[in-house]
Amino acid sequence: MKLHRESKGTITVASLLFIILSAIAIYFLEMWSLVVILPLLVVYSLVFWFFRVPDREILDHKENVIAPVDGKVVMIKEVEEDEFIKGKAIQVSIFMSPLNVHICRYPVSGKVIYKKYHPGKYLVAWHEKSSTENERTTVAVESLTNHQVVFRQIAGYVARRIVFYCNEGDDAKAGHEFGFIKFGSRMDVFLPLDTEIICKIGDITKGGLDVIARMKE
């Protein structure tokens, strides 16, 4: 199993804690130490599971909008996007639990034309106001279909670290990685009003694979 590059620090800390706490349990509890060690081993294994990098065959896309993350579609709604589009758009929101793969991928192919990091609160990620009040990043891409598509990484109550690697002027390729969020979060995608939405609320998505919408050329 491949591990994401963002795992190094967390796994180092988790390994040290597991060794120290296990040693203390063995010293004080002796034969009963397994009562402590086994739950610790489960938590330790989940840390590795969280940072897994699945092997996925990413295809080329033009009109298709690809699920940017693994998770559950929790919102499809017409909204005002005030940061970049400054007008109406269709917002598709996908919530990631701590057990989901947390790699963030470009939803469309094109050119990165905007990026910004916003400090903020840590409301639960499914809260509607988290899109504008939580710690977050905003990225905009001029798509191959000549549309401006905005997408936003949003930190949740548990997530406390957002990473994005893209820069203005970069080529965006739908389904390919541009960032990572640690431990539970949400991803919003803002699409033109005439976009054909294919997903529905409650759908479970696979980042980089599932088509969630289709834009008119």
Annotated active-site positions, please? Answer: 185
Could you tell me the CA-to-CA distances from 138 to 44, 83, 129, 179 in Å, in that order? Answer: 32, 8, 15, 11
Whole-angstrom distance, CA of residue 137 vs CA of residue 64:
23
Contacts of 88 (CB under 8 A, 6+ apart): 78, 79, 80, 81, 193
Measured N-to-C along each axis, helices 34-50 and 7-29 cross at an angle, to the nearest 10 degrees, of 170
